[in-house]
Structure formats: structure tokens, C-alpha cells
């Protein structure tokens, strides 16, 4: 065991700080970039309905489970399993989370870097007068370049490292308490603007009116994968944050509130994007390009569009930053507690290793485009293998551990704060983590691996 002094662990200072940090982790590119295009490709309102059901029935219980493990153990994900299940291989679940953290941080920070390029382009008027073909070419030229994507990655990574270096309370909690309200304000302004565009109603109808005939096996599985990614569950981020939460915090309430904020932001992002997409006659199923190609096109046709473009890409960058810090914290907590490094040494080690992985990911269409693993470039490999394999597998093992291999009494004690809170939901929660969640997650996992097809 390491010589780390666990009495000196940092922690969150307030309930609001916990919500800001955890919601900051959940709300990110997943809500504003990924959710709208996945919804656009998978049936609009029908997808939203399935997504809602999954967040309530599986997302929230899995999030509660991670918080329970983290706060019970007061350790990083690897140390947590070592403490709760001594001399058993469960710590490998934590280790898998740390590996996933490295991979997610690499491709996610690369996309976050793109948002900086788009902020820069907005400021210099780079989109002005461009057709959608030209905007698409512009995106390709940027992505295949060998310097700019890497440069923006490095800048975004350093911002992430700077905050994490400040610690849990003075870095993460303090910064997210400022950034999260900012994000809400920008998003609401964007929604108001979008809703006042002519023809906005069609976009809203697409988002909110479920067409039940569009619900297929794929819709359900895409919704489940999106829920995992969006809520930041399945890789120990919330075990790590949970370990910094005070013993008096109501973990179930925290999980519900964080999930509701995450859901609300995804819906708001849809409200900001789809009316604009329809008002300008663009297909809602434009895929990943929706954010980086379609939106700049829309912005420049709007009055005051450049201001909105600037707001939008700042929004994306801020949302991404409150998420990247949570992923880096997983790595730093692991390094400090398991290897007994100082926070400074851990942040430096984490950042340097991320430079190698992340620069490779950000140059996946440029200098590193010849590097293919299983036929995928580095970015796509990291993106697919985390969302489709590591997160579902991690989530599955986390609920199986709590549901089948950890004393129920301890789980109940943790959720009820040793009996101080009523936990009337406990029977339902237990059924979900023992049966419903494992079965449902196993299905996504097998689908992600291509072992079953619907
Ligand atoms: N939840 C983040 C988003 O929706 O953008 C992404 C993410 C953050 C995934 C942290 C996993 C994680 F641990």
C-alpha cells in the first residue's frame, strides 16, 4: 500500500459545490455536441422519450452506486475497490476506469481544442460569406492540419491541468461554481434566439413529439450509450468525486439533481439547435458535423449571428472544461494516493502522458493518419472503445459489485447516512442494481462489440 496520508485528503466544501462539480462533469460536449446529433439521427422525440426512461431507470441508480462506493471508501477508484474488497480482483474495475480516463481525456480534449479554433475563427471572421461546402472544407483542412489541432489541444490541456492543480476545493469546486451559471445564461440566451426564428415550431415538434414507430432496438441502445457518456458514469469519475463528498450529503438527492441538470441541459441544447436547423432548412440528421459545420452556416445567416457563434463556442469550451477537469482528477487521485506522489508531481505526470496520447489523438486526421489500430485512427479508437466498451463494462461491474458482492447493509448505511435519512426507495434501487441495470447494460455492451444485432 502507498504511504499517502489519507487524513489529509481534500474535499468539497459545500453541497452547492458538490452539485456544481458533479453537474460540471456530466454536462459537456456530450450534451451540446453529441446529444443533438444522436437524437437527430435516431428519431427525434422518440429518442428523447427513451432517453428519459433510461436516465430515470438506469442512469440515476448507477450514479448513486458510484457515489456510494466513493464516499464509503474515501479513495480513488483503484484504492476504493482495494479497500472495500481486499485481496479480490475488483480493483481491476478501478484500474480500467483509470485507463478509460486517459483515453477519454485524449479524444475529448482534442474536440475541446476544436472549440477554441472555432472561437478564434469567429473572432477573425473566418466563416463570413462561406457556403456549407466551404465550411465543410474548412473543417477538413483544419482537422487534417499537423499543427493547429495539436496546439489547441495543448492549450486546453494546460487549462485543465491548471485547475486540477488548484485542488478539489480551491480548483475544481471554485471554478465550476463560476462556470456552470455562466453556461446556463449563455444556453438560455441561445434558446430564446432560436425560438424566435421564423419556423422554429417545426424544430420544437421534431424534438418534443415522439413518433413511436421510430423506436427500434438501435434507438434504445444508442440512448443507453448516450446516457452513460452524458452522465459521466462507468469509469470511476463519480467514485472519485463521491470520495470528496461530506458524510452528511444525501447521495440519492445528489444523483437525482445532477442527472436532472444534465438532462435539462441536453434538452436546452436541443431547443437551441433544432429550431435553428429547421428554420434554415438543414437536415436534423447531419451527424457529427452538426456542431462544427452546420451551425457556423446557420450563424452567419442570422442577424447578430457572429455574437451567437461566439457565445455558442464559448459555451462548448466552458462545458468541456468542467468535464475534462473531472477526468484528469481521476488520474491525479490515482497517482497521488496509489503512487504517493504530490499533487504537483501527479498533475505534471498526468499532463505529460496526456500530451503524448492527446496530441496523437488530435493529429488523427493529420500527421498520425497512417496510424491505424483495428482499422481505426487513434481518435476513433479511443472514442469508440471507451463509449462502447469500457464505460458499459465499468458500469456493469460497478452495479454487479454493489448488488451481489458487497453487503447490502453497508450500501443502505451509506445511502441513509447511517440511518439518519429515510431510504424508502431502497428495495427498488436494489432490484435495479441486481437485475435491471446489469441486463440492460450487458445488452448495450454486446451490441457495442457487435456480438448482437437488433
Ligand atoms: N459527461 C461528459 C459529457 O457529456 O460531455 C463526458 C464525460 C466526462 C464522460 C467525464 C466521462 C467522464 F468520466
The pLDDT score that the predictor gives to residue 277 is 84
- Write the CA distances from 169 to 39, 68, 248, integer angstroms: 36, 20, 17
At 373 the three-state DSSP class reads strand
DSSP 147: S
Say if 91 falls within a structural domain.
Answer: yes
Q: Whose CA is nearest to atom 12 of ligand 1?
A: 232
**Residues of the chain by 3-state class (helix, strand, coil), percent to 5:** 75, 0, 25
Does 383 contact ligand 1 (Cβ within 6 A)?
A: no
Say if 297 falls within a structural domain.
Answer: yes
Say if 1 falls within a structural domain.
Answer: no
Number of domains in the chain: 1
Say if 254 falls within a structural domain.
Answer: yes
What CATH number is attached to the domain comprising 221?
A: 1.10.4160.10
Indicate which atom in ligand 1 lies nearest the CA of residue 230: 4
% of the chain at pLDDT higher than 70: 98
Mean pLDDT of the chain: 92
What is the model's pTM? 0.94
Residue 154 CA, ligand 1 centroid: distance in Å: 19
The pLDDT score that the predictor gives to residue 357 is 97
The pLDDT score that the predictor gives to residue 82 is 98
Listed in sequence order, the residues at least 6 apart from 236 whose beta carbon sits closer than 8 Å to its beta carbon are: 66, 76, 77, 80, 93, 94, 97, 98, 100, 101, 330, 394
Say if 454 falls within a structural domain.
Answer: no
Does 259 contact ligand 1 (Cβ within 6 A)?
A: no
Instruction: For the beta carbon of residue 164, count every other beta carbon within 10 angstroms.
Output: 26
Say if 237 falls within a structural domain.
Answer: yes
Does 30 contact ligand 1 (Cβ within 6 A)?
A: yes
Instruction: Write out pLDDT tens, residues 358-375.
Output: 999 999 999 989 999 998
Say if 453 falls within a structural domain.
Answer: no
Structural domain for 282, as ranges = 6-448
Amino acid at each position: 500500500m502507498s504511504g499517502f496520508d489519507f487524513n489529509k485528503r481534500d474535499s468539497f466544501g459545500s453541497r452547492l459545490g458538490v452539485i456544481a462539480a458533479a453537474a460540471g462533469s456530466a454536462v459537456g460536449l456530450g450534451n451540446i455536441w453529441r446529444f443533438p446529433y444522436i437524437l437527430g439521427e435516431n428519431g427525434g422525440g422518440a429518442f428523447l422519450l427513451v432517453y428519459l426512461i433510461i436516465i430515470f431507470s438506469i442512469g440515476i441508480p448507477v450514479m448513486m452506486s458510484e457515489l456510494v462506493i466513493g464516499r464509503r471508501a474515501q479513495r480513488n477508484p483503484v484504492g476504493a475497490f482495494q479497500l472495500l474488497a481486499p485481496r479480490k480482483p475488483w480493483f481491476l474495475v478501478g484500474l480500467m476506469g483509470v485507463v478509460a480516463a486517459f483515453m477519454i481525456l485524449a479524444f475529448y480534449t482534442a474536440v475541446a481544442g476544436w472549440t477554441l479554433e472555432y472561437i478564434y475563427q469567429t473572432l477573425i471572421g473566418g466563416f463570413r460569406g462561406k457556403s456549407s461546402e466551404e465550411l465543410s472544407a474548412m473543417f477538413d483542412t483544419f482537422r487534417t492540419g499537423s499543427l493547429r489541432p495539436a496546439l489547441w489541444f495543448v492549450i486546453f490541456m494546460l487549462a485543465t491541468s491548471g485547475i486540477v492543480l488548484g485542488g478539489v476545493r480551491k480548483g475544481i469546486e471554485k471554478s465550476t461554481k463560476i462556470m456552470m451559471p455562466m453556461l446556463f445564461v449563455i444556453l438560455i440566451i441561445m434558446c430564446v434566439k432560436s425560438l424566435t426564428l421564423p419556423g422554429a415550431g417545426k424544430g420544437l415538434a421534431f424534438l418534443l413529439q415522439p413518433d413511436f414507430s421510430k423506436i427500434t432496438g438501435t434507438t434504445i441502445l444508442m440512448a443507453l450509450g448516450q446516457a452513460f457518456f452524458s452522465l459521466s458514469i462507468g469509469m470511476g469519475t463519480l467514485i472519485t468525486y463521491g470520495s470528496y463528498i461530506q458524510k452528511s450529503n444525501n447521495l440519492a438527492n445528489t444523483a437525482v439533481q445532477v442527472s436532472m441538470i444534465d438532462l435539462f441541459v441536453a434538452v436546452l441544447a436541443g431547443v437551441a439547435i433544432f429550431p435553428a436547423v429547421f428554420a434554415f432548412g438543414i437536415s436534423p440528421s447531419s451527424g457529427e458535423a452538426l456542431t462544427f459545420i452546420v451551425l457556423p452556416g446557420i450563424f452567419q445567416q442570422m442577424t447578430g449571428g457572429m455574437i451567437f457563434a461566439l457565445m455558442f463556442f464559448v459555451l462548448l469550451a466552458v462545458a468541456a472544461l468542467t468535464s475534462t477537469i473531472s477526468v484528469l482528477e481521476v488520474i491525479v487521485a490515482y497517482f497521488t494516493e496509489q503512487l504517493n506522489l504530490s499533487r504537483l508531481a501527479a498533475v505534471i505526470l498526468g499532463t505529460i502522458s496526456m500530451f503524448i496520447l492527446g496530441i496523437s489523438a488530435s493529429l488523427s486526421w493529420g500527421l498520425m493518419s497512417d496510424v491505424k489500430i483495428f482499422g481505426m485512427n487513434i481518435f476513433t479508437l479511443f472514442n469508440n472503445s471507451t463509449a462502447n466498451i469500457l464505460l458499459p463494462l465499468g458500469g456493469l461491474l460497478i452495479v454487479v459489485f454493489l448488488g451481489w458482492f458487497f453487503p447490502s447493509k453497508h450500501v443502505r448505511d451509506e445511502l441513509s447516512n447511517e440511518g439518519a435519512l429515510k431510504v424508502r426507495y431502497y428495495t427498488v434501487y436494489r432490484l435495479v442494481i441486481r437485475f435491471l441495470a446489469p441486463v440492460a447494460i450487458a445488452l448495450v455492451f454486446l451490441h457495442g462489440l457487435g456480438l448482437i444485432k437488433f
